[in-house]
Structure 1
Amino acid sequence: MKGIFFAFISILVITLLIPLFIISSCEMQAPQRHDGVREEIRESDLIIHVFNHETKEIMELYLEEYITQVLVAEMPASFEMEALKAQAVAARTYAIWRESTHGKAGHPSHPGASVCTSHAHCQEWLSMEEIQNRHGKAWMENYWDKIQEAVESTTGIIMTYNMQPIEPLYHSTSGGKTENSEDVFASAQPYLRSVSSPYEERSPVLVDQKKITMDAFINGLRSRDRDFTIDRRNAASQINILEKNQGGSISKIQIGNKTFTGSQIRQTFDLRSSDFTITVSGNTVTFSTRGYGHGVGMSQWGANGMAEQGSDFQEILKHYYQGVTFSKLTSNRSE
């Protein structure tokens, strides 16, 4: 029965996923580099197309090479190894999710390439020249091997849910609790549920303040809704948080005569998160925020905190992405 089951799953995956990749179904252990443990399967021939925002060209990159250079751009190399491994798996899963969603046609924003090099749209990626210029020789000597190890020790591993690659959203710092996907983005995903993220104390962006003038505050809100009005003399009494999401960010806030979402306020004033308070003192408006980013999926500083507490990358990922399975890519290319 077990053999029949896995044969069925294999046929299903080959049918549903992109032709270049096959997912081996199972709850698996990460390939190890020590003697006496099973060898890795080579996935070095898997190629993806990446739109380079700097050169405006579409690059053909080996998947694992791409992930290595994404990892450098997306997470500090000083982080714990297990946190780096978790980020490598998340970045790889994101690339495969994009490939399976858009295929050869690519994303509408960059036809012919499923992913790009901008963190504002996909995942940030740096060329080797950019990495060396940004970090310098000493960094390369101290950290490059560590980055490569994090990628190589998780080669080909991605996260799936119901045998499909997940959309593994991640962010810098949640502020103590992540958000449900539907509270921030359009759709509810069963694996993107609000969970605690208690080990973020060392994040330099856990708390932040931003001060602006009352004129900038009013003009910013009028740029979003031209009918906005507020009594300057009693502005503090006209700011009321109406609803919060499960993760703690603001869902609805009443300011003056209008109701806004927390995301709208964050975007308008370029705040670090939608988990904020507003205080008014004289002509100064102060935003106090907790966390940095959209708050959905894996908190990178939370992941590092979990690693410091002894969690491995699988435990980290299973915490932030509920109900996922670890699967492995193999090449469907002819040798």
Structure 2
Amino acid sequence: MNTSEKIKIFAMIVLVVFLFGCSNNMVIKEEVPNVKQETDVLEKERNKETNSENERAIYEVDANIPVSRALAAKMIALTYNDYADIKTMDREIQYEDVKPSDWYDMYINAATVQGFMNGSGKVFNPLEPLTYANAQTLLERIAEGKFKVKMNLSKEMQKKYITYNDWVNIYMRLLSKLSGEKSIEEAYGIRERGFVLVATPANSTELDAWEMGTDKGIYGFAGLPMDAYIDKQIRVLLKDNEVFAFLKIEEEKPTITNVYIADTSEDEITIFVGGVHRTYKSNNNFSGEKGKIGDIQIQAGSLISLKTYEEAISGRVLLVDSKKIELEGKGHIEFANDYKLYSIVGEKPQWCSLSNLTIGEDIGRFILKDNKICAAIIEKKPTPNKIRVALHKTGFTGLVHQEVKITSDENFIVKIGDEEQIYKSGESFNIKEEEEKLSDQIPRVKIRTQSGNGKLKVLSIQRNGQNPKYRGTLDIVQLDQGYSIVNELPIEEYLYAVVPSEMPTSHGLESAKVQAVTARSYAYVQFYSNRFHTYGGNVDDSVQCQVYNNTPETDISIQAVKATQNEGIKYNGSVISANFFSTSSGYTANSGEVWADYADKSFPSYTPPYMVSKKQFEGTDFGDLSKEENAKKFFKATDIDGYDQEFGWFRWNITMSLEELSASINANLKQRYAANPKLIKVLDENNIFRSRPVENIGTLKKIDIVKRGQGGNIMEMVLIGSKATIKVLTEYNIRFLLQPKQYIEGKEPIVINLSNGSTMQDYSIMPSAFFVIEPNNQDGKLIGYTFFGGGNGHGAGMSQNGVKGMVDKGYNYKQILQHYYPGTEVTKIY
């Protein structure tokens, strides 16, 4: 054994003694032990690690990377927060040496705000290396007294900079102990992964700063020097899509499997994988391999070998999950472990996900390797002529059915594999009687009426007390835990039963035309989203997409769909997702003043030009509704000539005591904070609202409305309680916390008084955020509030009851749509 090997063993022994010294005490000892004895100890600990997955916290780290305070802040911040939450967290730090443009700014902000790290006066010293003494302090703060963390270090050792492998292993061991019976991935979302690093901004213009292209996709690597590992297979720890820690190089001459060969020349080959292109030098001419799928072995920018695969299958995609795909007539085909998905529709290849494999469509080739799908090449854009709808159980409680019974008013055909059986009118098919015939190669039952024009009734589902009937065909799809039921039919016929389920056909034909066009636009967008591919559907039949066949089709809904055939709403040539709601207050809202940004959760968010606040009444307006005095006049006014004025929700009022409001707030606060911490902020000791965990404000003392949108909708509200004062952002959070619902046992239900004289009780959400408040006092003391409001729903886009009002005033469906979605055109979309 040479000297370097002895030193390496000794280093590992020191680390093992630290990590496994005691269950409640972590100790590093500096004396040199007997090498043979400690090697045996190390082996025992490795065996212990193998026997208990949760104890797996010693990593083979091989990296000469300095551990800066900034890098430590990144690891701590990602441990306790999702990447998106860190990115959108309010910036509270004011260090002179940390700027918002620095990669480490958001991590230092999170680590500081959450009390793990702090600076020295006005500076943080982000690039200063972490010492063993610094590490000791950080570990103690993270342990929070649950474990005693102690390093027996000399004064000289305390001042030394901690090595990267020591830091990673010590830190991960502590997280393993803190996670208890859970794995580190379950507790903190930190997972280990290996991949080939293909590109960084050093060799690719397709990547942004601190982005790396790999054979598994694009990941962030802020603060870690990764350029030296290009064209190597490496192992890392990940949190979300950000590299949490680098572990080691696994292969100097790696093989990248299932790449798309984008271009070739006599001495070069350009591949596309993981979202980036990369060109390698080659001693061979691979000109004939362009457009194929292949495995390549590489080394330092050169191609060592290439093997391509040409065996392919195709067909309509009927179901896709992470393990398999079902193609029509071919049954289930498994995905290879390293499968990759590409689209060559458009000017350049695209890196795809499973949702891009549109259900019901034959869109490309599936390349086979060892009888498994190793890659898919999407070659054409699907056209939504038909749509596949995954049907919920009774009450819209889930898409996995334990029983399926189907009948029809006419003869119908049940097909299982190649076998067809005719059932007579009134007979019923029960999946339980035929399930033994199903297998991986015959995973579904297909049912259609004999004429092709009749309807199939599902006896195992109820909608509004009746068994629903469906046009088109029904597929019963075998899943791991039960069955899904998928209704396939032309998209126009699908709309027959969407229109009456979303808008009363009593509103008349012209109103139904409006709903038909908006529903068609929405379905078009949802078809391409393909969110329900694991159930075999493009969409579902609930409010997650749009409600379908909860109310049966009517003559009016059929007429409306046919009169607007293929028409949708476009803005600048693209079909919009046409949002709508029940009833307006007399104004709609800017969408960005209603919803937080989907990607980064910031609020307010961007408002498209076609989703702006619009006046919904005729006559003189009330001035700027973002001002409280104007909003009060408007929402208490009952003589407005509004498009929605004939409907009870146009104006409403609710009275609740402080006790009732407190109960509602405290019952729902934890859930709303968890949904997006940035949108619930707590007043701290410095009188600054900051995002902090909160579950209870105590007894409500006062409500303050802080900010309104252009349409008068409340965007920000402050709730002052005996235990905490919070600022609540977005209309949904406000409405959900102030539920007009009785949470106090034994007390009368909360009553909503509507403008048409009717009442509602214990509503599950405040009807809208378009309201004002008036205090109720008794003997000079505040005892509660009365809410005077208008409308029902989020308030962005089209008011369905407003449509009826506009029709009554003589507007046609195109005029109405262009009123609610300004700047758009109603035109054929497919």
Task: Return the TM-score normalized by structure 2.
Answer: 0.31
Tell me the alpha carbon deviations over residues 266-312 of structure 1, each in whole angstroms, 9 at most, x when there is no partner. Answer: 01211110112233435554333210011011111111111111111
Q: Secondary structure at the match of 1:78?
A: helix
Structure 2 match to 1:254: 718
The equivalent position to 1:192 in structure 2, one of 601, 604, 611, is 611
- For the 8 Å contact 2:388–2:536, the answer to whether it is kept is yes
For the residue of structure 2 that corresponds to 1:267, the secondary structure is helix
| Residue 92 (structure 1) shift | 0.6
SS in 2 for 1:258: strand
| Residue of 196, 212, 226 corresponding to 2:695 | 226
Aligned pairs for 1:113-132 (under 5 A) are: 113-119=537-543, 121-126=544-549, 131=552
Matches within 5 A, 1:118-197: 118-119=542-543, 121-126=544-549, 131=552, 144-185=554-595, 186=597, 187-197=606-616
Judged with a 3 Å threshold, the aligned counterparts in structure 2 of structure 1 residues 153 and 108 are, in CA distance, closer, same or farther, namely: closer
Cα deviations by residue, 1:3-55 (Å, 9 ceiling, x for unpaired)? xxxxxxxx99xxx994215xxxxxxxxxxxxxxxxxxxxxxxx2111121127
Give distance in 2, aligned partners of 1:275 and 1:79. 24
Q: Displacement of 1:112 after TM fit? A: 3.8
Q: Which residue of 1 aligns with 2:757?
A: none
- 2-side partners of 1:250 and 1:69: how far apart? 35
* 1:162/1:110 CA distance change after superposition, 3 Å: farther
Q: Of Structure 1 and Structure 2, which has the larger fraction of its residues in strand? A: 2
Query: Partner of 1:47 in structure 2?
Result: 386
Shift of 1:164: 1.4
Moved more, 271-280 or 319-328: 271-280
2:734 to 262, 265, 268: 265
CA pair 322-109 structure 1, distance change in 2 beyond 3 A: farther
Q: 1:84 aligns with which of 507, 512, 523?
A: 512
- 1 CA distance for matches of 2:768 and 2:717? 14
Q: Aligned residue for 2:823?
A: 323
**1:110 Cα deviation after fit:** 6.3
Q: Aligned letter for 2:491?
A: L
Deviation (angstroms), 1:156: 0.8
The 8 Å contact of residues 51 and 110 in structure 1, kept in 2 or not, is answered as no
Q: Which residue of 1 aligns with 2:706?
A: 242
Amino acid at match of 1:191: Y
Task: Quote the sequence identity (%).
Answer: 30
Task: Summarize deviations over 1:151-178 as a string: whole Å, max 9, x none.
Answer: 1100110111122110100011120111
Q: In the TM superposition, what are the counterparts of 1:81-120 in structure 2 within 5 Å?
A: 81-100=509-528, 102=529, 106-107=530-531, 112-119=536-543
Give the superposition deviation at 1:244: 0.4
- Which has a greater percent of helix? 1
Cα 1:109–1:246, aligned 2, differ >3 Å: closer, same or farther? farther
Instruction: Mark the CA change 1:265 to 1:49 in structure 2 (over 3 Å): closer, same or farther.
Output: same
Question: CA 1:207/1:157 → structure 2, altered by over 3 Å: closer, same or farther?
Answer: same
CA deviations on 1:33-83 (whole Å, 9 max, x unpaired) are xxxxxxxxxxxxx21111211273222122111111011111111113222
CA 1:265 to 1:86, structure 2 compared with 1: closer, same or farther past 3 Å?
same
Give the 3 Å change call, closer, same or farther, for CA 109–191 of structure 1 in structure 2: farther
**Is the 2:391–2:540 contact (alpha carbons within 8 Å) kept by the matching residues of 1?**
yes
Separation in 2, partners of 1:62, 1:109: 18
Determine if contact 2:575/2:829 at 8 Å carries over to the other structure. no
C-alpha contact (below 8 Å) 2:656/2:785 kept by paired residues: yes
Label 1:229 to 1:83 Cα distance change in 2 as closer, same or farther (>3 A): same
1:71 touches 1:88 (CA, 8 Å); kept in 2? yes
SS in 2 for 1:107: coil
Q: CA deviation at 1:215?
A: 2.2
- Contact 1:18 / 1:99 at 8 angstroms: preserved in 2? no
Instruction: Kindly indicate whether the alpha-carbon contact (under 8 Å) linking 2:508 and 2:556 is maintained by their aligned counterparts in 1.
Output: no
Task: Give the deviation of 1:86 after TM superposition.
Answer: 0.7
Give CA deviations for 1:191-242 in whole Å, capped at 9, x if unaligned.
Answer: 1111111211112211223344432311222341435245x6xx4xx32211
2 CA distance for matches of 1:76 and 1:188?
29
Write the distance in 1 (CA, Å) between the matches of 2:649 and 2:380.
38
Inter-CA distance 17–325: structure 2 relative to 1 (3 Å threshold) = farther
Match of 2:660 in 1: 216
Aligned pairs (5 A) from 1:21-40: 21=384
Q: Which runs of 5+ in 2 are unaligned?
A: 1-345, 348-378, 400-484, 598-605, 618-642, 670-693, 740-764
Question: Residues 196 and 72 from structure 1, CA distance in 2 versus in 1: closer, same or farther, beyond 3 angstroms?
Answer: same
Q: Which has the larger radius of gyration?
A: 2
Aligned partner of 1:193: which letter? V
Please tell me the residue identity of whatever aligns with 1:50. Answer: V
Whole-angstrom CA distance in 1 between matches of 2:569 and 2:810? 21
CA–CA separation in structure 1 for the residues paired with 2:773 and 2:532: 38
Determine helix, strand or coil for the equivalent of 2:505. Answer: coil
Change (3 A) 1:183 1:17: farther
Contact 2:797/2:821, CA 8 A, preserved across alignment: yes
Amino acid aligned to 2:487: M
Aligned AA (1:116):
D
Q: Secondary structure at the match of 2:648?
A: coil
Which structure ranks higher in relative contact order (CA pairs < 8 Å, sequence separation ≥ 6)? 1
Cα 1:190–1:112 change in 2 (3 A) is farther
- In structure 2, what residue type is equivalent to 1:197? Q
In the alignment, which residue of structure 2 is the partner of 1:309? Answer: 809
Secondary structure at the residue paired with 2:649? coil
Distance 1:47 1:108, change over 3 A: closer
- Whether 2:495 is the aligned partner of 1:67: answer yes
Deviates more, 1:317-326 or 1:212-221: 212-221
Amino acid at match of 2:518: A
